[in-house]
Amino acid sequence: MPDGSLTGEDAKLVTLARATRARTGAAQGAAVRDTDGRTYAAASVALPSLRLSALQVAVAMAISSGAPGLEAAVVLSPGAAPDPDGAAAVADLAPQAPVYAVDEAGRLPD
């Protein structure tokens, strides 16, 4: 995870992730921005037959929409724990893209 504060565009991803998580009541919210500037927000999926992190879902949405690459990603969850599976999905599409893990208030860990 990168150090420092979020840029304005990356802060928008936090807002999208937080809103998606709040709307669905999911454990995680995530958002990604593709290289065309489009954003995709998602919540984690926890079904008996399917478990995906919010970041995995957001990356899948971007890919299925034809995103040529990713610029940045945010995952919002309690404790701001990094999401290894979601980060791996981002790296598959864009190894250079930063992945920010933020807490429920949208803050980067100290």
pLDDT of amino acid 41: 98
pLDDT band at 2 (very low <50, low <70, confident <90, very high): very low
- Global confidence as pTM: 0.90
Domain limits, the chain: 8-102
Specify the fold of 8-102: Cytidine Deaminase; domain 2 (3.40.140)
Q: Decide if pLDDT at 59 tops 70.
A: yes
pLDDT in tens, 3-50: 457 888 999 999 999 999 999 999 999 999 999 999 999 999 999 999
Q: CA separation (Å) from 48 to 26, 51, 52, 72, 106? A: 15, 8, 11, 30, 29
When the pLDDT of each residue in the chain is averaged and rounded to a whole number, the result is 91
The lowest-confidence range among 1-5, 59-63, 87-91 is 1-5
Q: How many residues does the chain have?
A: 110
Q: How many beta carbons lie within 10 A of that of residue 47, not counting itself?
A: 7
Tell me which residue of 64, 66, 49, 6 sits closest to 75, measured CA to CA. Answer: 6
